[in-house]
C-alpha cells in the first residue's frame, strides 16, 4: 500500500540552526509525485514543492532545499539558518494513481517544527 512516513513528530531548534525533516515513502506506482506543504499556525496549507519521480535532482529555493533519493525512497527537506517564521507543521505527501486514472494525495502525519529565538 502507498504510505508516507514522517518519523519526526516534533523538532525544536534554536534560530539559525539548520534542520532536516525526514520523509520516507512506499509506492507501487512507477510514476509518482512527491510534495511538501507547510501549515503555519493559521491553519492553511502552503505548497512548497512538487517533485516528479523521474527527476532526482536536488532542489534549492532560498533557505529551503530538498533531497530526493529514489534508492532509499526518501524526500527530505532541509531548512538552512532557520527562523522563527519557519515554525509550522510540515507535511510530506505522495500521489497515488487510482483505478479511474485520477490521483489522490497520501499525506504523512506531519512534523511540527518549533524554532525558538
Enumerate residues 40-79 that contact another protein by CB under 8 A. 43-45, 47, 50
| CA separation for the pair 16, 89 (Å, rounded) | 18
Query: 91 to 110, contacts with another protein by CB under 8 A?
Result: 91, 93, 95, 100, 102-105, 107-110
Give the DSSP H/E element, type plus range, for residue 12.
strand 10-14
How far apart CA 70 and CA 57 sit, in angstroms, is: 11
Q: Which residue has the cell 536536488?
A: 58
Least separation, in Å, of the C-beta of 72 and another protein? 21
Q: Give the x-and-dash track for 26-45 against another protein (CB under 8 A).
A: -------x---------xxx
Amino acid at each position: 500500500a502507498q504510505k508516507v512516513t514522517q518519523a519526526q513528530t516534533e523538532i525544536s531548534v534554536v534560530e539559525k540552526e539548520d534542520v532536516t525533516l525526514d520523509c520516507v515513502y512506499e509506492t507501487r506506482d512507477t510514476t509518482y509525485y512527491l510534495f511538501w506543504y507547510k501549515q503555519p499556525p493559521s491553519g492553511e496549507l502552503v505548497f512548497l514543492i512538487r517533485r516528479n519521480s523521474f527527476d532526482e535532482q536536488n532542489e534549492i529555493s532560498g533557505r529551503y532545499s530538498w533531497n530526493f533519493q529514489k534508492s532509499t525512497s526518501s524526500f527530505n527537506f532541509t531548512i538552512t539558518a532557520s527562523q522563527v517564521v519557519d515554525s509550522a507543521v510540515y507535511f510530506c505527501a505522495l500521489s497515488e494513481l487510482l483505478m479511474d486514472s485520477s490521483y489522490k494525495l497520501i499525506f504523512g502525519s506531519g512534523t511540527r517544527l518549533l524554532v525558538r529565538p
